[in-house]
Amino acid sequence: MEKIIAPSVLAADFGNLQRDIEMVNQSKADWFHIDIMDGVFVPNISFGMPVLHTINQHAKKTLDVHLMIVDPDRYIQTFADLGTDILTVHYEACTHLHRSIQAIKAAGMKAGVALNPHTPIAVLEDIIVDLDLVCIMSVNPGFGGQSFIENTYKKVVQLKNLINFSNANTLIEIDGGITDKNAEKLIEAGADVLVAGSFVFKSENPTSTIENLKKITNK
Protein backbone atom coordinates (compact mmCIF):
# COMPACT_ATOMS: atom_id res chain seq x y z
CA MET A 1 0.00 0.00 0.00
CA GLU A 2 1.17 3.52 -0.75
CA LYS A 3 2.54 5.30 2.29
CA ILE A 4 0.69 8.41 3.40
CA ILE A 5 2.07 11.86 4.23
CA ALA A 6 -0.13 14.04 6.42
CA PRO A 7 1.09 17.63 6.93
CA SER A 8 0.03 18.97 10.34
CA VAL A 9 -1.86 22.25 9.97
CA LEU A 10 -0.73 23.24 13.48
CA ALA A 11 2.54 24.43 11.92
CA ALA A 12 0.84 26.41 9.13
CA ASP A 13 0.75 30.22 9.02
CA PHE A 14 -2.72 31.01 10.42
CA GLY A 15 -2.54 34.48 8.88
CA ASN A 16 -2.34 32.75 5.52
CA LEU A 17 -4.33 29.65 6.28
CA GLN A 18 -6.11 29.43 2.94
CA ARG A 19 -2.79 29.78 1.09
CA ASP A 20 -1.23 26.98 3.13
CA ILE A 21 -4.25 24.72 2.61
CA GLU A 22 -4.08 25.31 -1.14
CA MET A 23 -0.38 24.45 -1.02
CA VAL A 24 -1.23 21.07 0.55
CA ASN A 25 -4.05 20.58 -1.99
CA GLN A 26 -1.60 21.09 -4.86
CA SER A 27 1.16 19.01 -3.28
CA LYS A 28 1.79 15.27 -3.19
CA ALA A 29 0.48 15.10 0.40
CA ASP A 30 -2.37 12.68 1.04
CA TRP A 31 -4.15 13.98 4.15
CA PHE A 32 -4.53 17.06 6.32
CA HIS A 33 -3.61 16.32 9.96
CA ILE A 34 -5.55 18.59 12.30
CA ASP A 35 -4.61 18.92 15.98
CA ILE A 36 -7.35 19.94 18.39
CA MET A 37 -6.03 20.75 21.91
CA ASP A 38 -8.11 21.79 24.90
CA GLY A 39 -5.55 23.09 27.41
CA VAL A 40 -6.64 20.33 29.84
CA PHE A 41 -5.58 17.02 28.34
CA VAL A 42 -2.49 18.79 27.00
CA PRO A 43 -0.85 21.99 28.27
CA ASN A 44 -1.73 23.97 25.13
CA ILE A 45 -4.78 25.22 23.25
CA SER A 46 -4.62 25.05 19.46
CA PHE A 47 -7.82 25.95 17.62
CA GLY A 48 -11.40 24.76 17.47
CA MET A 49 -14.52 24.46 15.40
CA PRO A 50 -14.53 27.75 13.43
CA VAL A 51 -10.99 27.10 12.18
CA LEU A 52 -11.80 23.50 11.29
CA HIS A 53 -14.86 24.80 9.43
CA THR A 54 -12.59 27.06 7.35
CA ILE A 55 -10.10 24.25 6.71
CA ASN A 56 -12.94 22.02 5.51
CA GLN A 57 -14.16 24.72 3.11
CA HIS A 58 -10.84 24.75 1.26
CA ALA A 59 -9.25 21.34 1.83
CA LYS A 60 -9.63 18.81 -0.98
CA LYS A 61 -8.03 15.88 0.84
CA THR A 62 -8.84 13.57 3.74
CA LEU A 63 -9.31 15.37 7.08
CA ASP A 64 -7.45 13.42 9.77
CA VAL A 65 -8.48 15.00 13.08
CA HIS A 66 -6.41 14.29 16.21
CA LEU A 67 -8.32 15.16 19.38
CA MET A 68 -6.14 16.00 22.37
CA ILE A 69 -9.10 16.74 24.60
CA VAL A 70 -10.73 15.20 27.67
CA ASP A 71 -14.09 13.48 27.28
CA PRO A 72 -14.08 13.54 23.47
CA ASP A 73 -17.50 11.80 23.30
CA ARG A 74 -19.10 15.22 23.79
CA TYR A 75 -18.01 16.36 20.33
CA ILE A 76 -18.10 13.29 18.08
CA GLN A 77 -21.17 14.42 16.12
CA THR A 78 -19.80 17.97 15.89
CA PHE A 79 -16.58 16.76 14.28
CA ALA A 80 -18.54 14.57 11.87
CA ASP A 81 -20.62 17.61 10.86
CA LEU A 82 -17.40 19.60 10.29
CA GLY A 83 -16.25 17.19 7.58
CA THR A 84 -13.91 14.94 9.56
CA ASP A 85 -13.01 11.72 7.73
CA ILE A 86 -10.88 10.08 10.44
CA LEU A 87 -11.39 10.95 14.10
CA THR A 88 -8.66 9.95 16.55
CA VAL A 89 -9.14 10.05 20.32
CA HIS A 90 -6.51 9.48 22.98
CA TYR A 91 -6.45 6.19 24.85
CA GLU A 92 -5.56 8.17 27.99
CA ALA A 93 -8.65 10.40 27.62
CA CYS A 94 -11.28 7.67 27.20
CA THR A 95 -12.68 5.70 30.11
CA HIS A 96 -14.97 3.71 27.82
CA LEU A 97 -12.82 3.51 24.72
CA HIS A 98 -14.85 0.79 23.03
CA ARG A 99 -18.00 2.90 23.30
CA SER A 100 -16.21 5.98 21.94
CA ILE A 101 -14.90 4.03 18.94
CA GLN A 102 -18.36 2.66 18.14
CA ALA A 103 -19.83 6.17 18.41
CA ILE A 104 -17.24 7.56 15.96
CA LYS A 105 -18.10 4.84 13.45
CA ALA A 106 -21.84 5.31 13.96
CA ALA A 107 -21.31 8.99 13.06
CA GLY A 108 -19.88 7.88 9.71
CA MET A 109 -16.16 8.45 10.36
CA LYS A 110 -13.15 6.18 10.53
CA ALA A 111 -11.94 5.65 14.09
CA GLY A 112 -8.43 6.06 15.48
CA VAL A 113 -6.75 5.84 18.86
CA ALA A 114 -3.61 7.76 19.82
CA LEU A 115 -1.12 6.54 22.43
CA ASN A 116 1.12 8.81 24.48
CA PRO A 117 4.84 7.94 24.48
CA HIS A 118 4.59 6.16 27.85
CA THR A 119 1.51 4.07 26.97
CA PRO A 120 2.35 0.50 25.92
CA ILE A 121 0.97 -1.01 22.70
CA ALA A 122 -0.42 -3.96 24.70
CA VAL A 123 -3.36 -1.87 26.00
CA LEU A 124 -4.86 -2.13 22.49
CA GLU A 125 -4.96 -5.95 22.39
CA ASP A 126 -8.70 -6.15 22.99
CA ILE A 127 -9.73 -3.34 20.66
CA ILE A 128 -7.28 -3.48 17.76
CA VAL A 129 -9.74 -5.23 15.37
CA ASP A 130 -12.15 -2.29 15.80
CA LEU A 131 -9.59 0.38 14.91
CA ASP A 132 -9.03 1.92 11.48
CA LEU A 133 -5.92 3.73 12.72
CA VAL A 134 -3.52 3.82 15.65
CA CYS A 135 -1.51 7.00 16.13
CA ILE A 136 1.74 6.39 18.01
CA MET A 137 2.85 9.70 19.53
CA SER A 138 6.56 10.14 18.96
CA VAL A 139 6.60 13.29 21.12
CA ASN A 140 4.54 14.25 24.16
CA PRO A 141 1.38 15.76 22.67
CA GLY A 142 0.76 19.47 23.02
CA PHE A 143 3.28 21.23 20.83
CA GLY A 144 4.79 21.11 17.37
CA GLY A 145 8.51 21.31 16.81
CA GLN A 146 9.66 18.82 19.49
CA SER A 147 12.30 16.15 18.98
CA PHE A 148 11.45 12.61 18.01
CA ILE A 149 11.51 9.97 20.78
CA GLU A 150 13.67 7.04 19.63
CA ASN A 151 11.67 4.41 21.58
CA THR A 152 8.97 4.85 18.89
CA TYR A 153 10.61 2.40 16.44
CA LYS A 154 10.19 -0.45 18.92
CA LYS A 155 6.51 0.44 19.42
CA VAL A 156 5.87 0.47 15.67
CA VAL A 157 7.22 -3.07 15.38
CA GLN A 158 5.12 -4.22 18.36
CA LEU A 159 1.98 -2.64 16.89
CA LYS A 160 2.64 -4.17 13.47
CA ASN A 161 2.95 -7.59 15.13
CA LEU A 162 -0.30 -7.07 17.05
CA ILE A 163 -2.13 -6.04 13.85
CA ASN A 164 -0.84 -9.07 11.93
CA PHE A 165 -1.49 -11.46 14.80
CA SER A 166 -5.08 -10.18 15.16
CA ASN A 167 -5.76 -10.08 11.42
CA ALA A 168 -6.72 -6.44 11.88
CA ASN A 169 -6.91 -3.86 9.13
CA THR A 170 -5.41 -0.92 11.00
CA LEU A 171 -3.17 1.86 9.71
CA ILE A 172 -0.12 2.83 11.79
CA GLU A 173 0.36 6.59 12.03
CA ILE A 174 3.36 8.28 13.64
CA ASP A 175 3.01 11.83 14.96
CA GLY A 176 5.72 14.19 16.20
CA GLY A 177 9.24 15.13 15.21
CA ILE A 178 9.10 13.51 11.77
CA THR A 179 11.89 14.53 9.38
CA ASP A 180 13.72 13.07 6.39
CA LYS A 181 16.09 11.54 8.99
CA ASN A 182 13.58 9.15 10.61
CA ALA A 183 10.93 8.70 7.89
CA GLU A 184 12.54 5.76 6.11
CA LYS A 185 13.30 3.82 9.30
CA LEU A 186 9.70 4.29 10.48
CA ILE A 187 8.35 2.88 7.23
CA GLU A 188 10.74 -0.07 7.50
CA ALA A 189 9.42 -0.70 11.02
CA GLY A 190 5.85 -0.86 9.67
CA ALA A 191 4.42 2.69 9.64
CA ASP A 192 1.76 3.61 7.04
CA VAL A 193 1.13 7.30 7.76
CA LEU A 194 3.65 9.98 8.74
CA VAL A 195 2.46 13.28 10.19
CA ALA A 196 4.84 16.19 9.65
CA GLY A 197 4.28 19.72 10.92
CA SER A 198 7.34 21.90 11.39
CA PHE A 199 9.48 19.92 9.00
CA VAL A 200 7.05 20.77 6.18
CA PHE A 201 5.73 24.23 6.99
CA LYS A 202 8.95 25.75 8.36
CA SER A 203 10.98 24.55 5.38
CA GLU A 204 11.98 26.85 2.57
CA ASN A 205 9.87 25.02 0.01
CA PRO A 206 7.05 23.05 1.68
CA THR A 207 5.82 21.57 -1.61
CA SER A 208 9.18 19.99 -2.39
CA THR A 209 9.66 18.93 1.25
CA ILE A 210 6.39 16.99 0.97
CA GLU A 211 7.46 15.55 -2.38
CA ASN A 212 10.75 14.44 -0.87
CA LEU A 213 9.03 12.76 2.12
CA LYS A 214 6.70 11.01 -0.28
CA LYS A 215 9.70 9.77 -2.28
CA ILE A 216 11.62 8.56 0.78
CA THR A 217 8.61 6.62 2.06
CA ASN A 218 7.52 5.07 -1.24
CA LYS A 219 10.74 3.62 -2.59
User: Would you tell me which residues interact with Zn ion (CB under 5 A)?
Assistant: 35, 66, 175
- Sheet containing strand 4-7, strands side by side: 4-7, 193-196, 171-175, 133-137, 110-115, 86-90, 62-68, 31-37
| Of 40 and 106, CB closest to ligand DX5 | 40
| Of 30 and 35, CB closest to Zn ion | 35
The H-assigned helical ranges of 64-178 are: 76-81, 97-106, 152-166
- Name the residues that contact ligand DX5, by CB under 6 A: 8, 10-11, 33, 35, 66, 139, 141-146, 175-178, 195-199
Going through the chain in order, the beta strands assigned E by DSSP cover: 4-7, 31-37, 62-68, 86-90, 110-115, 133-137, 171-175, 193-196
Within 13 Å of residue 149, how many CA atoms lie on the same side as its CB?
17
Catalytic residue among 35, 38, 64, 132: 35
- Residue 176 contact partner, candidates ligand DX5, Zn ion, none, CB within 5 to 8 A by sort of partner: ligand DX5
CA distances from 133 to 35, 45, 71, 163 (A): 16, 24, 19, 11
Catalytic status, residue 20: no
Looking at the chain, how many residues does it have?
219
In whole angstroms, the minimum distance from the beta carbon of 60 to Zn ion comes to 20
In whole angstroms, the minimum distance from the beta carbon of 152 to ligand DX5 comes to 12
Residue nearest to ligand DX5 (CB): 197
In whole angstroms, the minimum distance from the beta carbon of 6 to Zn ion comes to 9
Catalytic residue among 20, 64, 175, 192: 175
| Of 103 and 195, CB closest to ligand DX5 | 195
Q: Are 26 and 214 in contact (CB under 8 A)?
A: no
In whole angstroms, the minimum distance from the beta carbon of 52 to Zn ion comes to 14
- Residue 7 contact partner, candidates Zn ion, ligand DX5, none, CB within 5 to 8 A by sort of partner: none
Catalytic status, residue 180: no
Q: State the Cα–Cα distance between residues 54 and 4, nearest whole angstrom.
A: 23
The H-assigned helical ranges of 14-148 are: 17-26, 49-58, 76-81, 97-106
- Residue 198 contact partner, candidates ligand DX5, Zn ion, none, CB within 5 to 8 A by sort of partner: ligand DX5
| Of 38 and 132, CB closest to ligand DX5 | 38
- Which residues have a catalytic role annotated? 35, 175
